């Protein structure tokens, strides 16, 4: 998906991490945000398998499989925050993301063109739980924000003019929590879910023109409105371990991304980072256990291939399939 493009800059500087210490900065990852409660603990076994056929000119294949973000409801307070981690081939390496909130398994094959097919598999067990933020838990004000609260916000985003105007209107008489609720209400009333659209998830103009898009498109509108309204935000993406009937009902999603979802997190002063999903039916601050934040730099899996005489690139999607017959399949069992 287009979100993987954001990973391009980070790939060249990836560094293997050997420590397993948890990220305890400001307690994030080990302490629940104020006003957030959890229920219904779940235990999942997840399998991520990438299969591809290198060409005769392929010189290098690199594959990344995301691992969950460290969260207090995950019951494992170290990196990686999983149990029973297994991977193949055994040359795979665990690497920690720059923000130390999550990591991934990194695989590299050099001179792979002699092999008819490459298979990379990562298996891990994780704990998750339903979580819900109570919007009536506490009052907060835009005046309570500090400059450092916006440190992780992507300030290079140019907010669409239509959304700047909308943000100013929604913000009148609102505190940060009510503003986020109004943003979600507007999205629910104006953007229809459609995973068949052909424009990029970052194409805000097309999203607003057509009023349609999948979760990635909806997240783009949400992020623009948070930025315009002065609410710190960050993307939450990862696994949606839902039932087969729901996946089948979508119908148009490619085999590569049946268990992928994008939502978000917002920062409220005096409260912390709170998950929010604009596509939920008005219960925006409820996130089911089946939604697993899976890596903070890319969504679930990434593939880069170096062909002789060419630049490293992700497999291109043409005529209904990916170059090199590349596919990443995700499956899971609940224990």
Task: Name the token pair of 69.
Answer: 């973000």
Are 3 and 300 in contact, with CB atoms under 8 Å apart? no
CA distance 58 to 326: 13
> Which pLDDT band holds residue 27 (cuts at 50, 70, 90)?
low
For residue 164, the cross-strand partners are none
Average pLDDT estimate for 150-168 = 92
pLDDT the model gives residue 18: 38
Average pLDDT estimate for 174-201 = 94
Query: What are the tens digits of pLDDT across the range 194-241?
Result: 988 989 999 999 999 999 999 999 999 999 999 999 999 999 999 988
Higher pLDDT, 258 or 13: 258
Domains for the chain: give ranges and CATH numbers: 2-130+298-334 (2.60.40.2250), 132-293 (3.10.620.30)
Average pLDDT estimate for 155-168 = 93
Tell me: pLDDT of 25 over 70.
Answer: no
pLDDT the model gives residue 291: 95
Query: What are the tens digits of pLDDT across the range 28-66?
Result: 888 999 999 999 999 999 999 999 999 999 999 999 999
Tell me: pLDDT of 19 over 70.
Answer: no
Average pLDDT estimate for 70-98 = 95
pLDDT the model gives residue 335: 83
pLDDT the model gives residue 258: 60
Tell me: pLDDT of 9 over 80.
Answer: no
Q: Report which of 169, 213, 174, 206 is spatially closest to residue 191, judged by C-alpha positions.
A: 213
Average pLDDT estimate for 12-33 = 55
Query: What are the tens digits of pLDDT across the range 247-286?
Result: 555 444 444 456 789 999 999 999 999 999 999 888 999 9
> What's the mean per-residue pLDDT of the chain?
87
Which residues contact residue 143 at a Cβ distance below 8 angstroms, ignoring those fewer than 6 apart? none
> Which pLDDT band holds residue 24 (cuts at 50, 70, 90)?
very low
Q: What percent of the chain has pLDDT over 90?
A: 70
pLDDT the model gives residue 242: 75
Q: What percent of the residues of the chain are helix, what percent strand, and what percent coil, each to the nearest 5?
A: 25, 35, 40
- Its sign, for the CA torsion 199, 201, 205, 210, is positive
Average pLDDT estimate for 114-119 = 87
Tell me: pLDDT of 12 over 90.
Answer: no
> Which pLDDT band holds residue 318 (cuts at 50, 70, 90)?
confident
CA distance 311 to 8: 12
CA distance 25 to 100: 10
The Cα angle at residue 217 between residues 101 and 301, in degrees rounded to 5:
45
């Amino acid at each position: 998906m287009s979100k993987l493009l954001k990973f391009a800059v980070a790939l060249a500087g990836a560094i293997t991490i050997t420590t397993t210490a948890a990220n305890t900065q400001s307690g994030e990852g080990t302490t629940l945000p104020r006003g957030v409660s959890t229920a219904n603990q779940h235990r999942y076994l997840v399998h991520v398998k990438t299969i591809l056929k290198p060409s005769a000119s392929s010189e290098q294949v690199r594959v990344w499989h995301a691992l969950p973000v460290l969260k207090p409801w995950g019951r494992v307070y170290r990196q990686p925050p999983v149990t029973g981690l297994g991977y193949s081939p055994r040359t795979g390496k665990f690497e920690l993301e720059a923000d130390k909130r999550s990591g991934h398994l990194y695989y590299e094959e050099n001179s792979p063109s002699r092999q008819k097919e490459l298979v990379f598999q990562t298996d891990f067990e994780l704990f998750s739980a339903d979580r819900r933020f109570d919007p009536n838990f506490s009052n907060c004000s835009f005046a309570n924000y500090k400059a450092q609260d916006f440190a992780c916000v992507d300030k290079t985003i140019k907010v669409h003019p239509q959304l700047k105007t909308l943000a100013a209107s929604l913000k009148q008489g609102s505190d940060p929590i009510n503003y986020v609720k109004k943003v979600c209400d507007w999205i629910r009333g104006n953007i229809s879910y459609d995973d068949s659209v052909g424009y990029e998830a970052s194409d805000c103009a097309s999203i607003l023109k057509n009023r349609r898009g999948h979760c990635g498109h909806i997240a783009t509108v949400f992020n623009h409105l948070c930025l315009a309204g002065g609410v710190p935000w960050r993307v939450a993406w990862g696994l949606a371990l839902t039932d087969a009937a729901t996946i089948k009902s979508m119908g148009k999603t490619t085999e590569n991304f049946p268990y992928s979802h994008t939502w978000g997190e917002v920062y409220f002063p005096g409260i912390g980072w709170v998950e929010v999903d604009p596509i939920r039916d008005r219960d925006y601050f409820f996130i089911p256990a089946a939604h697993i934040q899976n890596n903070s730099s890319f969504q679930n899996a990434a593939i880069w291939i170096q062909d002789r005489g060419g630049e490293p690139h992700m497999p291109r999607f043409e005529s209904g399939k990916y170059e090199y017959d590349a596919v990443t399949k995700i499956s899971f069992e609940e224990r």
